[in-house]
Amino acid sequence: MAGTERRVVVTGIGVISALGTEIDTFWKNILEGHCGIDRITLFDVSKYDCQIAAEVKNFDAAPAFPSPKDLRRTDRFTQFGVYAGWRALQDSGLDLEKVDRDQIGCFIGSGIGGLSTTEAQHSVLLEKGPSRVSPFMIPMLILNMASGMFSMYYKLRGPNVATCSACATSTHALGEAWRTIKMGDANVIFAGGTEAAIVPLSMSGFAAMRALSTRNNEPKRASRPFDSQRDGFVMGEGAGVLALEELEHAKARGARIYCEIVGYGNTADANHITAPSPEGEGAARCMKMALRSAGLRPDEISYINAHGTSTPQGDVCETQAIKSVFGDHAKKLAVSSTKGATGHMLGAAGAIEMAVCTKALQTQIAPPTINYENPDPQCDLDCVPNQARPMAITAVLNNSFGFGGHNATIAAKRFNG
């Protein structure tokens, strides 16, 4: 197969989160143990069971958009995605005037899409009638628009896909982009995900499922992955986009290389609409697939960025999955979840966490699991509790698992030429 020997590296990172809208600030805040969760300000939450989230505040997407009119005609999730893509493009140093744009693609997904637009236009329909619904409603709400708009604004004519697999969305986007570049169908793909689901309907629905933390009086201590006192996840919003690039293409233009993507796993639990498969069986198969495609042994992995949502069942099942895959080596792994700091960004989570993995490989520092105060005997891994840890990191896994039984894992390693 002609494309199988092509190697794929990360040359640019764009992040939008409650902890920052550029990678250096974001990474500094992660390492220092800061938390972006607070009381929701986007709407009145006084009647809601969960009143906290990790909001992106004072956000201005204008630099990434061609005009104010274009900006007004997009949903918040698209604004996040386009801005993160623009940041990744800037960070990559790629000069679009000097490359074949037929070979530059976009794989930017979303788990939910334009829910705020859906809410607003439904209110218009009920209050003013069907003739007053915006002609831009559908283009604003459909979840492929972040990927579509970014490609339009920057004239990127290569493969363009918007993945949607709940909380595994952007990890699937990265994996499928990796596969596409390896097969020779693109030289560069801007891949990741975006989400803006801190809206009344979403907060009501997740609360009705009893999925959200109700630790409203302690927002910065509410998301506590692997801690025995965890009571649910905390919603986050934002986007993560990484520039994935074929190695020789990157070398030819003198690009800075953060790390190399070397493997990808993609499995289904085929078990339950929201609950993971017993003992994390599907997640374990996913990690094994990523290791196999990367040609890595379990004992070559130094660090795992866990899905680690801070839900009672999910964290236990992921722990069981890691132990089943890694055996005795599981005790030597650093395994942290950064959702205590960023909240759970749903479809954007995997890409934000891949940015974390990329920086961990570059800087040789494992980020902490904050709010880890009460050890859970069922989650008996080294969770890098509360403080970042300088350590040798040669290869990593990034896990994402979504409702519907979707599992995705990316394997990456330090770039050595």
Query: Is residue 257 a contact partner of residue 39, using CB atoms and an 8 Å limit?
Result: no
Which positions are annotated as active-site residues? 167, 307, 344
Q: In angstroms, rounded to a whole number, what is the distance separating the alpha carbons of residues 244 and 104?
A: 10
Give the residue from 312, 315, 331, 334 showing the smallest Cα distance to 397. 334
Count Cβ atoms within 10 A of the Cβ of residue 32 and give its class: 0-12 exposed, 13-18 middle, 19 or more buried: middle
H or E stretch including 10? strand 8-16
User: 2: how many CB neighbours lie within 10 A of its CB?
Assistant: 7
317 secondary structure, DSSP code = H
Residues of the chain with pLDDT under 70: 1-4
Query: Is residue 215 a contact partner of residue 331, using CB atoms and an 8 Å limit?
Result: no
Count Cβ atoms within 10 A of the Cβ of residue 248 and give its class: 0-12 exposed, 13-18 middle, 19 or more buried: exposed
Measured N-to-C along each axis, helices 76-92 and 145-154 cross at an angle, to the nearest 10 degrees, of 50
130's CB contacts (< 8 A; 6+ apart) are none
What's the pLDDT score for residue 5? 84
What's the pLDDT score for residue 417? 78
